Chain A
Amino acid sequence: MTDFDYSVKVLIVGDGGVGKTSLTRRFATGQFTKDYIQTIGVNLLSKVIEVKGEKMMLLLWDTGGQEKFRNLLPKYYEGGHCGLVVYDVTKPLTLKKCVWWVGEITKHCGKVPLILIGNKTDLERQVSTEEGRSVANSLGIPFIETSAKDQTNVEKAFSLLGEMFLENIKVRK
C-alpha cells in the first residue's frame, strides 16, 4: 500500500546549464555534482515530502534544456501538476527566457502552480534579486533564489511548491 496521499508530477524547466539537474538532485538525494552533466531528454527523481500534514510523493521531471530536446518536451509536460522555472543568476539571458518557459508550461498544462527560481547564488551574480522578483511579479508567480551547491533555499522551494499544489486542489474542489 502507498505511504503517501498524493502523487504529484513536478516539472523542472529552464535553459540548459542553469542548474536544474543539480537542484533536483540536491533536493531528492542530498548530493551535489560539480560537473555540468548534459541531460538527455529527461531525468526522473522522486521524493516524499510532508506539507501541512499531507504526504505527497513528488515525481520530479528534470527536463533537458537544450534545443535538441524541444520536440519531446511537450510530451513530458503532459499532466504536470506544478513546476519550477529556473534561471541562472550569472546569465541574464536565462532570466529573459523564463517568460517563454512559463508560456510553454501554461500552454501544455494549464494554469498550474509555478515558482521562478534564481539559481547559483553562490557565484558572482549578473542578475540582481530585484530583477528576478520583477519578472516573477510580472508573471504573477512566487520568486525564490537558491544555490544547489550550498543548499540555500532548496528545501524551501519544493515545500512552497507542495503548499501551492495543495492550495490549488482545494480551489479546484
Chain B
Amino acid sequence: MVKRIVDRVKGLCKLGSFDNPECLTSLKNILVITSSGLCLVATDRESYDTTLLAGMLSALAHMGREIMDSDIESVSFKGQRLYYMQKAGLLFVAHTSETLSEHIVYRILTEVAYTFLEKYGDVLPDWSGDLAPFKEFEGELEKYRDSKILNDFVFDFLFKFQAKDLILFDIDKGKILLSTHPLWDLGDYINKVRGRLRYTKGIKKLYHRTGNTIIMKNEKDYVVNIIKGKMCLTVAFDQKNYDLPSLTTVSEEILEYLQKNEKIKQKGKSKHSKLAKNHHPKSNNSPLLITNIGY
C-alpha cells in the first residue's frame, strides 16, 4: 500500500520540467557564512563576489535582530531568493530562483548544516581565517546542484503530503491536466465535481465548504477540491494523516507548487489524450497532456 502511494507520487514527478535546464539553475549557490560575515564555503564563487555577499547578509542579519528583534528567513529579489538558516552561530544560505519550493530549499539547507557541523564542529571555535579545511566541502556541496539530487528532494516534498490521489483539471472545459488515477474512472467524477461546484446551492450534504474549497469525506479519506482561477485540484488524503484545518493549506500549497513549476503544458496528441477524448466528448478538439501512471 505504502509503496503504491510512493510510486504514484513519484510518477507524478516524471514530467519534462525536472529535466529541463531551468531546473538545473534553480539552485544557484549554497554558502556557509560565519556570524561575523566571512564566507567559509560557496558552491559558486565566480558569478559574483561571495565575500561581499557574505558580509552583507551577516550585516543584514545583525540589523534585523537589532531593529526588528527578529531573524531574517529570506530575502527576495526579482526572480531570485536568498534563504537563511541559522545554526550553531553560522548562516547557511541558499541562493535560488523564485520557482524553487521553500520546503525543498530548507530541506537541503538542513542537510548541509548537519553535514557541515558534523565535519567541522571542532574546528570552528578556534578558526583563525584559514580556508584550507573547508575546501573539500565545496566539492561535496556541488552534488546539490545535480538535477537528480534535486529531483529526489522534490519527490520527497510531494510524498510528504501523503496524497493518495491527485487530479488537476480545467473546470470550464472539463479537461484533465494531471492525474494519478486511471482515466477511465474519471469522467463521471469530473462531471460530478463540476456539477457540484456550479450548483452550490445543492451542496448541503458536503462535509465542509469555505470559499473556493470543498472538502468531502468518506469512511477513510478526505477529498479536497480547491479552485484557483479555472483550475480545480482534487486531492485525496488519508484521514489519519491530517486534521481538517490543515487540509486547505496543504492543498493550496500543492496547487501553487504545481502551477509554479509549469506542470501543466499543452502538447501534441498522445495515447492518453485519445483516452481522454473517449471519455470527455466536450474536449474532442483540444489536445491534452496527461500524466497517468495508473496502478
Interface set of A (CB-CB < 8 Å, partner B): 1-9, 41-42, 44-46, 56-57, 59, 61, 71-72, 75-76, 78-81, 165, 169, 172-173
Contacts and interface: CB of A to CB of B under 8 A. Distances in A.
22 contacts: A1-B135, A1-B138, A2-B138, A6-B130, A7-B131, A8-B129, A9-B37, A44-B55, A44-B56, A44-B59, A59-B54, A61-B55, A71-B66, A72-B66, A75-B63, A78-B35, A78-B36, A78-B62, A79-B35, A81-B128, A81-B129, A173-B128
Contacts of A61: 37, 55
A53 to B, nearest CB: 14
Contacts of B45: 1-3
Nearest to B42: A2
Contacts of A5: 130-132
A173 B129 CA distance: 12
A6 B129 contact: yes
B151 interface: no
Interface string B124-163: 0010111110010010000000000000000000000000
Contact of A79 (B38, B56, B66): B38
B66 A172 contact: no
Contact of B51 (A46, A75, A80): A46
A12 to B, nearest CB: 13
Contacts of B39: 7
B49 interface: yes
Given A41-B59, A79-B35, A6 B66 contact: no
B52 A59 contact: yes
A5 B135 CA distance: 10
Given A9-B37, A9-B38, A79-B37, A46 B131 contact: no
Contact of B40 (A4, A7, A42, A81): A7
Given A44-B55, A72-B66, A75-B66, A4 B131 contact: yes
